[in-house]
Structure 1
Amino acid sequence: MPEEDPAAARWTIGQFSRMTRLSARMLRHYDRLGLLRPGDVDPWNGYRYYSQDELGPAVMLRRLRDAGLGLDEIALALPALLSDDESIWRPALERHLERLEAEAGELGRRREQTLALLHHRKEPIMTTQTVPGTTLTIPAHTIIARRGTIATYRDEGALFGEFETQLHGVLAATGAALTGDPCGATFYEDGYVEHDVDVEVWEVVAAPVEVAAPLSCRRVPEQTVLMAEHKGSYEGISEVYTGLLHEIGERGLTITGFSFERYLVGPAHNPDPGTWRTQVCFPIEG
């Protein structure tokens, strides 16, 4: 009796489902989307049949799905992986990995918040920053700035990194100089936002200079602010905002502009978060 050719093997959708651990419902869905078509379809009854040629793509599709890629991402990465087009599949997987790492960081923060709730005992529900605000007059100064919209507050560092590269190009080309005053960021929001944060990052320069978009250069007038200093990483900085706003309300002060932060010591100065010092400022009158 002649041996059966493995390449000629044909499986029903149920059999193929068991082999690949992809449900029959999803196999039909992938067929409709064009992601994974059966090798043969009976023209009379519409039954789908799969062969060895579909087995490898099906296993790879399942791996991509189990890794959490969406259908659009799978549609991009699957053919590239099957054809070994690294110029397409590697960036797609790297973008997915970056998103997973961001999600893992967010899960870690939620875990810490949950642990804090479990162990809060009889601590007050609402606390305010114990460091009192200080009234500070900031003299008029000139800044080079870049304003943009970032996904979340945690993305400010990436915007600052791009800005610093552009800034140093301007300094090198024009001979302009920084004054040594703290750099900072101004938040053009009336309150806290979950995403799409409108922020401007800036450095103080000795004199006005011509710049091209997306940079700008302008004179900032003298202003009085209520300021409190936050020490350490930025995780707890919201408590400083809470404390300052509490004090502004108690003292009957009026906020005259958008809040901003001045970075006395930040990641660019020292990678150790324990050394970071940030002034949180609200322009005021009253």
Structure 2
Amino acid sequence: MTSAQVDAYLRRLGIDRPRRPTSEVLRELHLRHLRTVPFENLSIHLGEEIALDETRLLDKVTGARRGGFCYELNGAFGMLLTDLGYEVELLAGRVYDDEGRLGIPYDHLALRVRTADGDTWLADVGFGAHSHYPLVYAERGDQEDPGGRFQVVEAGPDPAGVRGGDASGAGDLEVLRDGKAQYRLETRARVLGDFAAGVWWHSTSPLSHFTRSLVCSRVTEDGGRITLSGRKLKTTAADGTRETREPATDEEVLEVYRECFGIELSCVPTVRNPDLKD
């Protein structure tokens, strides 16, 4: 990244360039990213190519002021952290579905981040509803977070029904939220290009939930979450109270994207695989 790109990224997050890559700064960057750069899959339904290219990822986040899904969000965030002096490694994960089955290899991208003060964290700004702050990588007990109670634990053998991957699960980690496994994480460092097959599958396959549904979501300033699922707007406060409404017109939907997520669109996205919509 150039100095101008770093500055543009930090301006979007609303934070000055930090003096040192510390754990405290990482926590602030992580939370600000979740508040300002939405988790969204609009490109899939707008017919936009998703490319794991540094320039294009940064242009999308800082130039177009868009968001993305895990490969884009954690890919771009990892570039920013690296240029700020953090030691960053990309980790591949597989996400559990509602039946407890693991997804495809390179199903998810997360970050292992080492700081100037000697700490190692699991950072993830690309999983939707997840931890607001990075998790302590080596901690195997409960980690309390505004997003829930998290654990990073040693993984056992893969459950039945796994699609791909090492069936032994040797060396893998499991990330749990409120006692439920969210995804299984390999500990071997990867490069961004390794995730190209995952991007292709999730953006084209009728079996991918990303091609069957529209989502745009971010953490709110009070610690809650606001999500536009298709045309349904859901707002959840930090205390768990929820409010749901459905904009009546396309113009109102575009206004929600603009006012709630900072995304300017010329047309309302429509679901790519409507017959298979969840």
Q: What is the TM-score of this pair, normalised by structure 2?
A: 0.21
> RCO higher in 1 or 2 (8 Å CA, sep ≥ 6)?
2
Which of the pair has more CA radius of gyration?
A: 1
